[in-house]
Amino acid sequence: MDENNYSRSSRRKEEEANFDEKGPRRPHRRRRTRWLGWTLLILLVAAIGVSAFFFAEFKSSVESMQHSAKITKARDVNQLVKEGKPFSVLVLGTDVGELNRDRDGLTDSMMILTVNPTKQEVTMTSIPRDIMVSIVGAEETFPQKMNAAYPIEGVGATMQTVQNYLNVPIDFYVLVNMKGLESLVDQVGGVSVDSPLDFQYSQETAHAEGPNLYRFHKGSSRYEHSDDNGKTWSKSKTVMDGDAALAFSRMRYDDPDGDYGRQLRQRLVLKALMKKAVNLKNLTNPKFIKTVSKNAQTDISFDNVLKLITTYRVATKNQVSDNLQGQLDMYGGISYQMVPKTEKQRITDKIRNQLALEPKDTGTQFGGQVPSYGARIASDNLALIGEQYLPNE
């Protein structure tokens, strides 16, 4: 066979090899597969880059919130979180405009959160802001209200005063600018809460009349809004935006239960917000995280925050609320709340049980020690609730 015949024969075999029953084969399949592989690799690298960027942003936002309480904790909190054990958080709400990183403003909302992943349960226990206390580190200012501990001595003294008062460990704190609640509610798409009573409230006047007026209905999530002192009302809505949620949680003067009624509504809003906030869609939303960081400060470390997201998120499935109940008393023309020992013991038992701790007697009568000049004040006020002042407690 000559060279020309061989070449034609070889080409014909190659052409036949590139044909099948469906027609000519495509000669660049390997090249196309290689191109697809490179595309997937580029997309993977891009995804990793985006994830790394988000992680860095998330880490930066969380770390910007961190502010040490500057106290020695009653327990090794890092070990608690590492082992996935129950822990407590003192939540303090304050209205100070832009939240700074130092003492400022009374904490008009106070509650102890206990988080138990084994029970899959979070408990919220409201602490009356007007409880008569002796502030740890500022005992010479006795008597004071519980909500004055933060502006007088800072968050560390507030934690220690609450801890001494109830004899429960306070593991962490979170300080929240209540005005920032408005932005957080808006970013999770609003919250739906059934009102425990019928009421109207204007944030401008803090009463049932005025501009920017809201109207809520007992046993329903339905509400209306009016810009003109109630002359015209919007159509009913069932999902509160941030401004409505703030109005709902702030009203106090027209509530027959006073501050206890406000505490209840604050817990209802917080519950609804928490359920939405722990959704991974929100936890991975940089805008949401930045809003949180601008309106909160805490001593929970970044590593512990990651652990809370991965291990403790399940605890938010069930939420239980309660409040420490006191009795009104007047001293020097100022109203205080005095809490009977039996009521303190009830709350102490409940919190310690939620933290999987053994039962113990409740804490000291006033948190910090009472100076000698305050013995008469303490004795007179405790007499109101049928109790005797015990200087050594």
pLDDT tens per residue, range 307-325: 888 888 778 888 899 999 9
Provide the pLDDT for residue 10: 53
User: What does pLDDT average to over the chain?
Assistant: 84
Q: Considering the chain, what percentage of its residues have pLDDT values greater than 70?
A: 83
Q: Where are the domains of the chain?
A: 66-181+279-393, 189-266
Within a 10 A sphere around the Cβ of 179, how many other Cβ atoms? 17
Question: What region, left, alpha or beta, does residue 225 occupy, with left being phi > 0 and alpha being psi -120 to 50 degrees?
Answer: beta
pLDDT tens per residue, range 85-103: 999 999 998 865 544 444 5
Provide the pLDDT for residue 100: 45
Which DSSP helix (H) or strand (E) runs through 126?
Answer: strand 121-126
Q: Across residues 151-170, what is the average pLDDT?
A: 96
Upstream peptide bond of 128 is cis (omega within 30 degrees of 0): no
Q: Is the pLDDT of residue 16 over 70?
A: no
pLDDT tens per residue, range 63-84: 888 889 899 999 999 999 999 9
354 compared with 305, residue with greater pLDDT: 354
pLDDT tens per residue, range 46-65: 444 445 556 677 788 888 88
- Burial-class residue 52 by CB neighbours within 10 Å (0-12, 13-18, 19+): exposed
pTM > 0.95: yes or no: no
Provide the pLDDT for residue 28: 55
- The CATH-assigned architecture of domain 66-181+279-393 is 2-Layer Sandwich (3.30)
